[in-house]
């Protein structure tokens, strides 16, 4: 909004929160796209509030990253408005997300998607796979999400990666919950699973994750892939999972050895009275962007 007078402002809906660091979409290198998809009837809680709380948390962080020695805002980060998705059918939702992400990608921006339910991922993968033939997907998650359909729909969060695998092969990390049906289907699906219970038995497991990926990679982070100790704020928190240090080390290794062309962070369901999980997600965005674009500064 243009005002006929000036004052210092807080930009509530922008990553980093500081007006000085926000840029026009045209000059941005990164586009943060909030997709608060959450089919509940209440506004009280749930993944619907995830994107917003990540943005709020981001405004309380230092803009400088001591690990890479960079201030990643200088590459240009544009925070888009939250998508509104008042459609009855998930088919329409999927189409619209795919269209919007395609628009972003066609203009050369790196899409950093903030969910919302995991069911948004296939649409994003579809848009990126169309742009980047040979794309592969790295998924951090507690759940395989490989059901053919769930509760009668192929668009459930429980099918998110089965749908994504129709567009690009998967590498699934920290998996520790799947059904017998999914387990039976795995051998016939284009996926490589690193199960949480034994993936660390090989000291070089992170290298094997990298090796399993093609040159061009999309990263999908379901926050329940992290240890509930640091991420209790999600719908079905499974014990086990990645520590903060493991997650960062793996992400850095993948980004340094492959070309990462997009990312999503989904399934944060903010808790009343505990902001640590929101803060962690905001920092995760910063870290991924610093690893990915810090070398360009």
Residues 73-112 close enough to bind a copy of itself by CB under 8 A = 78-89, 92, 96, 99-100, 103, 107
Q: Give residues 233-262 in contact with a copy of itself (rule: CB under 8 A).
A: 234-240, 244-245, 248
Position 169 contacts a copy of itself (CB under 8 A)? no
Task: Assess contact for 167 and 129: CB atoms under 8 A.
Answer: yes
Can you tell me the distance from the alpha carbon of 138 to that of 161, in angstroms, rounded to the nearest whole number?
10
Shortest separation between residue 133's beta carbon and a copy of itself, angstroms: 23
Position 45 contacts a copy of itself (CB under 8 A)? yes
Position 177 contacts a copy of itself (CB under 8 A)? yes
Q: Give residues 139-168 in contact with a copy of itself (rule: CB under 8 A).
A: 149, 151-153, 156-157
Shortest separation between residue 36's beta carbon and a copy of itself, angstroms: 7
Q: Which of 117, 116, 123, 72 is nearest to 284 (CA)?
A: 72
Shortest separation between residue 60's beta carbon and a copy of itself, angstroms: 4
Cβ distance to a copy of itself smaller for residue 107 or 208:
107
- How many other CB atoms are there within 10 angstroms of residue 153's CB atom? 13
Residue 18 tokens, joined? 């500081």
Residue 120 tokens, joined? 């948004």
**Contact pick of 32, 265, 269, 291 for a copy of itself (by CB under 8 A):** 269
Quote the DSSP letter at residue 27.
G
Q: Give residues 52-71 in contact with a copy of itself (rule: CB under 8 A).
A: 52, 55-57, 60-64, 66-67, 69, 71
> 52-91 b/e with 16+ CB inside 10 Å = b?
bbbbbbbbebebebeebebbbbebbbbbbebbebeeeebe
Residue 285 tokens, joined? 């965005």
Residue 220 tokens, joined? 């999908």
Position 203 contacts a copy of itself (CB under 8 A)? no
Cβ distance to a copy of itself smaller for residue 62 or 215:
62
Shortest separation between residue 140's beta carbon and a copy of itself, angstroms: 14
Position 16 contacts a copy of itself (CB under 8 A)? no
The label of the residue with tokens 């089965």 reads 162
């Amino acid at each position: 909004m243009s005002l006929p007078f000036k004052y210092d402002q807080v930009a509530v809906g922008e990553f980093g929160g500081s007006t000085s660091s926000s840029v026009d979409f045209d000059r941005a290198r990164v586009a943060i796209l909030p997709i608060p998809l959450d089919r509940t009837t209440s506004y009280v809680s749930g993944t619907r509030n995830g994107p917003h709380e990540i943005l709020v948390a981001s405004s309380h962080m230092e803009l400088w990253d001591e690990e890479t020695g960079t201030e990643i805002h200088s590459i240009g980060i544009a925070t888009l408005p939250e998508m509104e998705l008042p459609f009855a059918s998930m088919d329409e939702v999927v189409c619209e997300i795919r269209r919007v992400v395609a628009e972003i990608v066609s203009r050369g921006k790196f899409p950093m998607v903030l969910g919302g339910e995991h069911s948004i991922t296939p649409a994003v993968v579809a848009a990126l796979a169309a742009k980047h033939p040979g794309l592969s997907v790295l998924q951090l998650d507690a759940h395989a999400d490989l059901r053919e359909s769930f509760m009668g729909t192929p668009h459930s969060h429980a099918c998110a990666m089965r749908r994504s695998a129709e567009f690009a092969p998967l590498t699934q990390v920290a998996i520790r919950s799947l059904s017998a049906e999914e387990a039976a289907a795995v051998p016939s699906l284009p996926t490589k699973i690193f199960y949480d219970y034994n993936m660390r038995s090989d000291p070089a497991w992170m290298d094997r994750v990298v090796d399993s990926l093609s040159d061009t990679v999309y990263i999908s982070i379901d926050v329940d892939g992290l240890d509930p100790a640091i991420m209790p704020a999600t719908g079905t928190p499974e014990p086990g999972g990645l520590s903060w240090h493991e997650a960062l080390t793996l992400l850095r290794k993948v980004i340094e050895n492959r070309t990462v062309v997009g990312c999503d962070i989904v399934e944060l369901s903010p808790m009343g009275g505990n902001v640590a999980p929101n803060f962690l997600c905001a920092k995760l965005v910063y870290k991924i962007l610093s690893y990915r674009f810090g070398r360009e500064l």
